[in-house]
């Protein structure tokens, strides 16, 4: 074999090895990028489900408080504590959700819940007004659940 043939063989081996290294580097980058995308999708999914569960919990607790107030009984302090925690969870999950429609409707619901709470805790107590306020939240609650369902199905 001549020298030029040896040079071609060595050059081919070196180029082949370099190509394999580049392919492995690109594969590693693609895998890291896919893991980041998967983590973002998981975070979004967990946030949406957490928000949905937290809103459901807030509403359940509000209706429990409303039932107490219908009988003109004071709302138990434990129920008030649970409600505060649930409201905090809604705020936390809502801040993580990257959908303006959901976040806007969550604000509407939380404003309505706040109004119902003020009506319940007013000195004279307005349980009937609070009930009407809570009933008015049905439409934004449905929009939130429908939009979260759409977002979960799209991921």
Distances (CA, A) of 26 to 17, 20, 33, 39, 151: 14, 10, 10, 20, 31
- DSSP-assigned letter for residue 137: T
32-59: average pLDDT? 94
Q: Is the dihedral of CA 86, 87, 90, 92 positive or negative?
A: negative
What pLDDT, on the 0 to 100 scale, is given for residue 150?
Answer: 94
What pLDDT, on the 0 to 100 scale, is given for residue 127?
Answer: 59
pLDDT at 71 over 80: no
Share of the chain above pLDDT 90, in %: 55
Q: pLDDT tens, 85-126?
A: 999 999 999 999 999 999 999 999 999 888 887 776 665 555
pLDDT band at residue 21, thresholds of 50, 70 and 90? very high
Residues 146, 148: Cα–Cα separation, whole Å: 6
Report the half-sphere exposure of 72 (CA within 13 A, side-chain side). Answer: 3
């Amino acid at each position: 074999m001549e020298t030029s043939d040896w040079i071609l063989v060595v050059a081919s081996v070196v180029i082949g090895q370099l190509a394999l290294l580049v392919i492995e580097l690109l594969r590693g980058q693609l895998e890291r990028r896919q893991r980041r995308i998967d983590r973002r999708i998981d975070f979004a999914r967990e946030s949406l489900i957490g928000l949905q569960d937290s809103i459901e919990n807030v509403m359940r607790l509000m209706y429990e408080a409303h039932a107490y107030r219908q009988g003109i009984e004071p709302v138990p302090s434990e129920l008030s504590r649970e409600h505060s925690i649930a409201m905090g969870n809604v705020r936390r999950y809502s801040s993580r959700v990257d959908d303006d429609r959901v976040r806007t409707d969550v604000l509407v619901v939380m404003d309505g819940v706040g109004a119902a709470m003020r009506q319940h805790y007013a000195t004279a107590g307005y349980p009937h007004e609070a009930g009407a306020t809570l009933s008015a939240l049905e439409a934004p609650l449905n929009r939130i659940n429908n939009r979260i369902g759409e977002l979960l199905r799209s991921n």
